[in-house]
Amino acid sequence: MMRFRWTALVAGLVAGMWGCGLEFPPDAVGVNLTEVNRIRADTGLTPQERREQLRELGLSDSTINGLLRNERTGNQFGGTLRSAYDKVKVGTFTQLTPDEIQFYGDAARTAGGPNFTLTDPQAQAIANFVRVQGLNTSDDVAAFLADPNNVVPDDVPTGVMQQLFVDFDEDEVLDQIP
């Protein structure tokens, strides 16, 4: 009886291990550092184009964030001024990436709007804040700010929510979108 149990246990382990191997498509080639570095060093690419090419190599967004950590508008899940504008226009602030928030802030400043140059931590704080509070539209932000019981976190720059997401007309950035 004991021999049967051992045989069954070994057979189960062997059968279990058989199906645990990595599976790759027949033509798959692993990512190599040479290709990654070529993309990272290509000054002819925008940060978003670098993200797209690295994603095509099969790298995750978090890995790409690390590889592009020195790219101010490419190291926090990417985006473009167009994608930022679209999310602001339709009222999906909670879907803005920190990179999109930086693009939008830069474009607003260029258009004569609020004078903010948002850092990576500040843009991340804004993204976290709108998500946690469920603020999707300028009306949502205005209502939140109007309630004296609500508090904007200290890591969100003073005035940025009012000036950038309530007072500023998002259509002012349209001429900057290619």
What's the whole-model pTM score?
0.77
Cα–Cα distance for residue pair 113/106, rounded to 1 Å: 9
Can you give the residue ranges of every domain in the chain?
A: 33-71, 81-176
Question: Nearest-CA neighbor of 118 among 84, 152, 81, 157?
Answer: 157
Cα–Cα distance for residue pair 151/78, rounded to 1 Å: 28
Task: Walk along the chain (178 residues) and give the pLDDT tens digit of each residue.
Answer: 555 555 555 555 555 544 444 444 555 557 788 999 999 999 999 999 999 999 999 999 999 989 999 988 888 999 999 999 999 999 999 999 999 999 999 999 999 999 999 999 999 999 999 999 999 999 999 999 999 999 999 999 999 999 999 999 999 999 999 8
